[in-house]
Amino acid sequence: MTILKVQNAFKPISSKGLNLLSLLAYNPRMTPLKFLVTAALACAVLSTASVLRAAESLDIAVIPKGTSHEFWKSIHAGALKAQQELAGKGQPVKIIWKGPLREDDREQQIQVVENFIAQRIDGMVLAPLDNRALVAPAERAIRARIPVVIIDSALKSEMPASYISTDNFKGGQLGAQHLSKILNGKGNVILLRYQVGSASTEEREAGFMDEIKKHPGIKVISQDQYAGATRDSAQKAAQNLFNRYKEVDGIFCPCEPVTIGVLNALKDIGKTGAIKLIGFDSGTQSVEGLKNGTVHGLVVQNPLNMGYLGVMKIVDHINKKKIERRIDTGVTVATPENMTTPEITELIYPPYDKYLNAK
């Protein structure tokens, strides 16, 4: 038996184990028999270390697109829920929550990722605010043996361990279906986009356009304007649209800041309720609008579950458990008619304070 054949017998072990076996193999005094015995002992040690690793505290970075909107509070709460649950199972985890303040600050998010690489964090749960700009830093982390799970918004890379999010294209389709329904299949509508490079909202916008074209009585009078990353910029963009187009029956907003910006613009011109507003996500103001009739539908996700699964799956991956490459966390439409049902109530009033206040 050659040393190469003995090495091949140990291929299932970890890369660290293979490095150790390589050192043994290149020892000129190591006979095949001695190599086999020593390698078996090395594997036993590595196996024991792997078991002990599961009981060590893991530092997990959770990196949102931004930190100012309520959606991210639910993501954070979900991560802390996972931390509590894992601690109860004997796997201590420390959640390190850090992201840019604004959802258009690509450089800041890249810097956050780079800093965590330098800190040799155990794993990252990342919501990339740009599907291309964050590819290089995420892949650098993975090459540095820091596993990455992507949540909320896709990344143009196959290297992350898993992608956990809403089916955003379907969410856009649901928004279009509901808008057409409440307009009785006819009218002038606007799609106010979010910002270039945000994969989740781009998919929602594409889903909306795919579905709305199936309703011949609906005319999309504007679909090429962008709101920007804040409520204020969205309000200004909406004001410009309403000044330009006098006959508007409905509008679709692909995320929380756009929804609130448009709602504020409608208040400014005295047309809340008259122009049908379909938003996305369940912030306090948009849910209040759903209750008082100024918002006519909200496409809602489950961000708390997204944050929870992000942490649970990265820990499973670190502990060598197989995880799904793609996990869909679900999407539905909340309306004034169904918002008091238990399943919708849980989504529009997420219990994030329960976890954030217990930190």
Q: pLDDT tens digits for 200-224? A: 999 999 999 999 999 999 999 999 9
* pLDDT at residue 166 is higher than 60: yes
Output the DSSP codes for 200-240.
HHHHHHHHHHHHHTT-TTEEEEEEEEE--SSHHHHHHHHHH
Lowest mean pLDDT among 45-54, 151-160, 181-190, 278-287: 45-54
pLDDT band at 68 (very low <50, low <70, confident <90, very high): confident
The percent of residues above 70 in pLDDT, for the chain, comes to: 84
* pLDDT at residue 243 is higher than 50: yes
pLDDT band at 31 (very low <50, low <70, confident <90, very high): low
* pLDDT at residue 22 is higher than 70: no
- Rounded to whole angstroms, the Cα distance separating 122 from 84 reads 18
pLDDT band at 25 (very low <50, low <70, confident <90, very high): very low
Average pLDDT over residues 101-114: 96
Average pLDDT over residues 49-53: 44
Q: How much is the pLDDT for 12?
A: 40
pLDDT band at 69 (very low <50, low <70, confident <90, very high): confident
Average pLDDT over residues 59-73: 95
* pLDDT at residue 24 is higher than 60: no
pLDDT in tens, 299-310: 999 999 999 999
In the three-class reduction of DSSP (H, G, I as helix; E, B as strand; rest coil), residue 94 is classed as: strand
* pLDDT at residue 75 is higher than 70: yes
* pLDDT at residue 54 is higher than 70: no
Average pLDDT over residues 25-39: 50
259, 283 contact by CB (below 8 A): yes
281, 201 contact by CB (below 8 A): no
Q: How much is the pLDDT for 33?
A: 54
Q: How much is the pLDDT for 34?
A: 55
pLDDT in tens, 260-297: 999 999 999 999 999 999 999 999 999 999 999 999 99
- Look at 30 and 235; give whichever has higher pLDDT: 235
Lowest mean pLDDT among 7-16, 66-75, 89-98, 230-239: 7-16
* pLDDT at residue 318 is higher than 60: yes
The percent of residues above 90 in pLDDT, for the chain, comes to: 82
- Look at 35 and 150; give whichever has higher pLDDT: 150
Give me the sign of the Cα torsion angle 220, 223, 228, 233. Answer: negative
* pLDDT at residue 136 is higher than 50: yes
pTM exceeding 0.75: yes
* CA angle 344–347–352, rounded 5-degree value: 145
- Rounded to whole angstroms, the Cα distance separating 329 from 229 reads 24
* pLDDT at residue 109 is higher than 90: yes
Q: How much is the pLDDT for 118?
A: 98
Q: How much is the pLDDT for 42?
A: 47
**CA distances for 165 relative to 250, 302, 310, 311, angstroms:** 27, 9, 9, 13
- Rounded to whole angstroms, the Cα distance separating 162 from 125 reads 10
Ranges of beta strands (E only) in 6-139 are 58-63, 93-97, 123-126
